[in-house]
Chain A
Amino acid sequence: MSGKTETPRVAVMRSYLGRARGLGAAGTGVEHWWAQRVGTVALLPLTAWFVFTVLHLAPMDRAAALNFLHAPWNATLLVAFILVTFHHMQLGLQVVIEDYLQAGTRTMAMLVMRGTIGLVGLACLLAALRLAI
């Protein structure tokens, strides 16, 4: 911290107990934690499928690739991969923002992050649905 020599002044006219009260656990963390674990487990097979798909499609022309992703199971797995991946990204980046950004910039960063991930995620989802139908 920069102010090692500066004498701190407290401008808050409240007792220590009054300040500490209500500052315990937020009480909403379990949902986030659990969603992240479930997403992680789901991503293990989905990522393996995605890596296989990328390698499988690499030598194909566009028509063959379209045909591959049109197949019911491949379309299903692609949609699942997109949903879980973007959800996982959003949960992870949320923690990064909470850890490193101060209260002033945090909300804006969170909105920009969620907005960007939401839009790119929707674009991918629509593309996958167009391929499927």
Chain B
Amino acid sequence: MRDVRDALLVGRNSEGRLVRRPMSPFMIPKDYRPQLTSVLSISNRISGVALCAGVLLAAWWLLALTVGDAEFAEVRRFTVSPVGLILLFGWTLALVYHTLGGLRHLMWDTGHGFDLPSVHRTGWAAVGLSLGLTATLWVGAIWWLG
């Protein structure tokens, strides 16, 4: 037993023996089948953490912009390299999805859309809009930048 929280997870059964209280298993792996709700929930978290890494690229770009032409050109070279483009695409998808996930959370915070049909409707809408908006942004960017 490591701490008080751990000690609280121990109780006595009807025979007076000490037993470990049962714990609800984590939502995604082996114990539960993946569901739209749980997968989209963890996706919102994963996309948020991924965006924290993405901010590092934005920070590098901003700092290079203030430093000099050579440094700025280096960032440009990276962002149009295959690795850079894959990262940018992933971060675009993460940004769009995390934004839509944030909008769903704001809606839930006002007390709306908690019933299962609404949750599934807005969930699938978030999936569809994420793919659609990301594709639109990239097609638009490619058209705009030539």
Contact = CB atoms under 8 A, between A and B. Distances in A.
Contact of A12 (B7, B58, B66, B137): B7
Contact of A69 (B8, B63, B65): B65
A44 B99 contact: yes
B69 A62 contact: yes
Interface in B65-108: 65-66, 69, 72, 95, 99, 102-103, 105-106
Contacts of B146: 59
Given A37-B109, A40-B106, A120-B56, A128 B62 contact: yes
A89 B8 contact: no
B20 interface: yes
A11 B1 CA distance: 8
B65 A131 contact: yes
Contacts of B56: 120
Contacts of A89: 51-52, 55
A12 B1 CA distance: 9
A22 B113 CA distance: 34
Given A8-B1, A40-B102, A55-B144, A19 B7 contact: yes
A103 interface: yes
Given A19-B4, A58-B141, A89-B55, A123 B63 contact: yes
A29 interface: no
Nearest to A58: B145
A127 interface: yes
Residue among A8, A51, A96, A124 having the largest count of chain B Cβ atoms under 10 Å = A8
Interface residues of A, number: 42
Contacts of A130: 66
B15 interface: no
A1 B22 CA distance: 9
A129 B2 CA distance: 48
B18 A93 contact: no
Contact of A127 (B23, B55, B65, B137): B65
Interface in A42-96: 43-44, 47, 51, 55, 58-59, 62, 65-66, 69, 85-86, 89, 92-93, 96
Given A96-B45, A130-B66, A85 B55 contact: yes
A120 to B, nearest CB: 5
The 6 A-B pairs of least Cβ separation, nearest first, read A127-B66, A8-B10, A62-B72, A12-B7, A40-B102, A127-B62
12 contacts: A3-B20, A8-B1, A8-B18, A41-B106, A47-B95, A55-B144, A58-B141, A58-B145, A69-B65, A92-B48, A96-B48, A120-B59
Given A103-B5, A117-B52, 9 more contacts: A3-B20, A10-B7, A12-B1, A43-B102, A44-B102, A51-B95, A96-B49, A120-B55, A127-B65
